Amino acid sequence: MAASEEEPSRAAGGCVLVVLGGAALAGVWAASAEAGVLAVWVAAGAAVWRAARRPVSVSSAPPPPGEDRPSCRECAGHDFIGAAPLEGEKGMWIFKSSPPDRPNHTHIHIAEGR
C-alpha cells in the first residue's frame, strides 16, 4: 500500500451496512407491514443471540492480587473478601477483609498493587 492511500474506516463500513439493512427493511415493510415487524423482531433476536454468544475478552480483566496482599495491624487475622483496582489511580488496589469478631463489618485497605 502506498503512503498516500488510506484504509477505509470500520465506521464507514458499519454505516454502509446500516443503510443497506435499512433499505432491505423498507422493502420488506413496503411489501407487508406484518412482515416488516417480524423482520425487526428477527433482527433484534439475532443481535441479542450474537451478543450473548460472543466470548468475553480476558485481556481487559485486571490481574488478581497475589498472596502478598497488604498487611497492617488492623488487618491481622481478618478473613480476605476480595480485591479490586482503584479507578483513576493506576497501580492502586482496594483490599477488603472481614474481622472474625465483627462479621457485618468490612475493613478496607488501599495499597499499591503487587
Residue-level pLDDT at 63 = 54
Q: Is 4 within a domain?
A: no
Q: Do 31 and 73 share a domain, yes or no?
A: no
Closest C-alpha among 99, 94, 89 to residue 111: 94
Give the Cα separation of 89 and 79 in Å (integer): 25
Residue-level pLDDT at 23 = 95
Q: Do 49 and 69 share a domain, yes or no?
A: no
Q: Is 81 within a domain?
A: yes
Partner residues linked to 107 by β-bridges:
97
At 43, which amino acid appears? A
How many CA atoms lie within 13 Å of 2's alpha carbon, on the beta-carbon side?
A: 2
Q: Please tell me the total count of domains within the chain.
A: 2
Domain that holds residue 38: 10-53
Average pLDDT per block of 10 residues along the chain, 114 residues long? 66 90 93 94 93 75 56 73 80 83 81 67
Q: Do 46 and 72 share a domain, yes or no?
A: no
Give the Cα separation of 78 and 28 in Å (integer): 64
Residue-level pLDDT at 14 = 86
Phi and psi, residue 22, nearest 5°: -65, -40
